[in-house]
Amino acid sequence: MILNEAQILERLVDSDPQRRIVITPLLKPEEQFGPTSVDLRLGTDFQVMRRTNLTHFDLMKDPEALERDMKQHMQCVKVKPTEPFVLHPGEFALASTLEYVKVPLDLSARLEGRSTWGRLGLQIHATAGFVDPGFRGALTFELSNVSNIPLPLYPGVRISQICFFQGVQTNLPYHKKRYSKYSGKSSTASSAFFRDPEYSRIRAAKEQLSYQ
């Protein structure tokens, strides 16, 4: 069941912290509430991939070396509220919501783009629109411009919307999941693929084969 605007509002002011939805700052509720969703705003932090001298990521490096490579090749851009971040056609950038979001354990959520921006060619996520029960932090956007004109993106603009779905309370909230990597972030979080356990198993298998 998807929550409507009255149910979302009820959860936002619920006195029980286990049931309460947190969306803060909620600057203009009259602008942000829809029938079954709440609009979220673009934050001020962006990350773009430096392509100079970057051929590929060697996924067989150890996680610490891969993390250093990621930091070296990601350019962090901080934008003032009155200045745009210009996303050119075919470009990809990471950004985050202005709001901090906390999802109760009996709800899950989906982050979707607003049709106003979709009609201009802005996609706000590649595959990661699902938000697990227990998630807390700023949500990361995977921004792509699929149009043929540059898009100036200003912090504070409502580019997305979040909706909530009722479920059975989980015993494994996102922040307690063994391999969760993005909970509690207050700004844009780049990929931490190198912390997935599959790569350590592949490295171990390759080392074993090299000794045979």
List, by residue number, the catalytic residues. Answer: 142
- Give burial (CB, 10 Å; 0-12/13-18/19+) of 122: buried
Q: Could you tell me which of 18, 35, 29, 6 has the C-alpha nearest to residue 136?
A: 18
Q: Which residues contact 169 (CB under 8 A, 6 or more apart)?
A: 105, 106, 133
Q: Could you tell me which of 105, 168, 157 has the C-alpha nearest to residue 131?
A: 105
CB 67 within 8 A of CB 196: no
Which sign, positive or negative, has the C-alpha torsion 15, 140, 125, 191?
A: negative
Amino acid (1-letter code) at residue 84:
P
Which sign, positive or negative, has the C-alpha torsion 59, 62, 67, 72?
A: negative
Q: Could you tell me which of 122, 126, 135, 121 has the C-alpha nearest to residue 182?
A: 135
CB 134 within 8 A of CB 176: yes
